[in-house]
């Protein structure tokens, strides 16, 4: 095994951009007869996985303010934070087709070395240093619940009352949403029906025409999706009152909505004017807005 000396011009490299470029070079370009081991330290940086959406995973405004690097690695996995108090190690070797996701093979030698140095409590655990998959599951679920608690703490109680009053005084209610936001909104259509309202999910084959005085509820994270813009505009022209539920501070639908209910959460392509407009998300895939919708509804 080769030990890679992480230095440039005699100085230790701590720029995370160079460190991950080095990893890519070692893995893809340098062909050696044995595996490579490397230790390195990064300047403050958030490292995201190959397939992750940076807008959903990271508070980009905060990173820019604090001058924290954002780096995408060439492998998969979740987002992690590194700083100069974090010692990172890595192994690079040939693919033997038996070691995929077998982290113990690469971690146990480090654990044994630490134990020989007197760190008797060193042990191999699951992701994020947990004691196993269920411990990690508990951490992830607690994180999601904590985020949602912050979202609801930021919500304006007057907005909630306005939503309830609009529903109470209207006989016919139409609902629109797209993607996962749409799934949460469709559930609300069924709930309203169970409450005795004449509620219609817009995409159903049996949905009737919109009439003057109807309530048209649209949940849209960005407040600006082309087909939703057209549909909501048509509903307005038919005489319906448009109630928009969104976290965004900009978007076409905001300009035509009669009522706007703000849910201060992270959503894809939403625009925020300040940190008070949202709750920073640590979940994957931007789940926060549709989760908040499901609970609000």
* Close Cβ partners of 217 (under 8 Å, ≥ 6 residues apart): 173, 174, 175, 176, 185, 188, 243, 245
Based on the domain organization, do 137 and 205 belong to the same domain? no
User: Are residues 120 and 61 part of one domain?
Assistant: yes
Q: 100 and 10: one domain?
A: yes
How far from 263 is each of 58, 220, 253, CA to CA, in Å?
Answer: 19, 10, 15
Q: Which residue has tokens 């925020």?
A: 272
Q: Which run of H or of E encompasses 69?
A: strand 69-72
Output 4-13 pairs: Cβ under 8 A, ≥24 positions apart.
Answer: 4/36, 4/37, 4/38, 6/38, 6/39, 6/40, 12/40, 12/41, 13/40
**Taking each helix axis from N to C terminus, what angle separates 288-296 and 179-194, rounded to the nearest 10 degrees?**
0
pLDDT at position 285: 65
Q: Which domain covers residue 24, as residue numbers?
A: 2-146
Listing DSSP states for 229-256 in one string gives HHHHHHHHHTTPEEEEEES-S--HHHHH
Per the structure, the count of domains in the chain is: 2
What pLDDT shows up at residue 130? 44
pLDDT tens, residue by residue, 149-208: 999 999 999 999 999 999 999 999 999 999 999 999 999 999 999 999 999 999 999 999
User: Looking at the whole model, is its pTM more than 0.85?
Assistant: no
Residues of the chain below pLDDT 50: 129-132
Shared domain for 176 and 87, answered yes or no, is no
Query: What is the SS3 assignment for 48?
Result: strand
Task: Give the model's pLDDT for residue 264.
Answer: 95
Give the start-end residues of each E strand in 137-240.
Answer: 172-177, 198-201, 215-219
Domain end marker among 146, 174, 201: 146
Q: How high is the pLDDT of residue 253?
A: 98
User: In the chain, how many H helices and how many E strands?
Assistant: 10, 13
**pLDDT reported for residue 7:** 83
Question: Could you tell me the CATH number of the domain that includes residue 283?
Answer: 3.40.50.10490
Q: What are phi and psi of 33, to 5 degrees?
A: -85, -5
pLDDT at 131: 47
Task: Give the end of a domain, one of 120, 146, 172.
Answer: 146
């Amino acid at each position: 095994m080769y030990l890679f000396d992480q230095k440039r011009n005699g100085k230790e490299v701590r720029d995370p951009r160079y460190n991950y470029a080095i990893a890519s070079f070692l893995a893809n370009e340098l062909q050696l007869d044995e595996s490579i081991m490397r230790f390195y330290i990064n300047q403050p940086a958030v490292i995201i996985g190959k397939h992750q959406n940076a807008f959903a995973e990271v508070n980009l405004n905060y990173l820019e303010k604090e001058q924290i690097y954002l780096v995408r690695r060439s492998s998969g996995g979740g987002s992690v934070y590194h700083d100069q108090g974090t010692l990172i190690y890595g192994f690079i070797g040939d693919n033997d087709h038996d070691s995929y996701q077998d982290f113990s093979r690469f971690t146990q030698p480090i654990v044994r070395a630490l134990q020989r140095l007197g760190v008797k409590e060193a042990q191999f655990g699951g992701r994020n240093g947990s004691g196993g998959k269920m411990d990690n599951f508990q951490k992830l679920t607690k994180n999601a619940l904590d985020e949602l608690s912050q979202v609801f703490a930021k919500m304006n109680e007057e907005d909630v009352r306005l939503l309830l009053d609009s529903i109470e005084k209207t006989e016919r209610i139409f609902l629109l949403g797209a993607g996962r936001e749409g799934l949460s909104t469709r559930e609300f259509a069924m709930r309203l029906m169970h409450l005795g309202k004449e509620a219609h999910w817009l995409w159903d084959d049996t949905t009737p025409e919109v009439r003057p005085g109807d309530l048209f509820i649209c949940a849209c994270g960005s407040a600006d999706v082309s087909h939703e813009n057209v549909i909501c505009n048509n509903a307005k022209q038919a005489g319906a009152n448009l109630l928009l539920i969104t976290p965004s501070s900009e978007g076409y639908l905001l300009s035509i909505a009669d009522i706007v209910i703000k849910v201060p959460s992270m959503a894809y392509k939403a625009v925020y004017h300040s940190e008070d407009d949202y709750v920073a998300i640590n979940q994957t895939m931007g789940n926060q807005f549709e989760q908040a919708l499901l609970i609000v509804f």
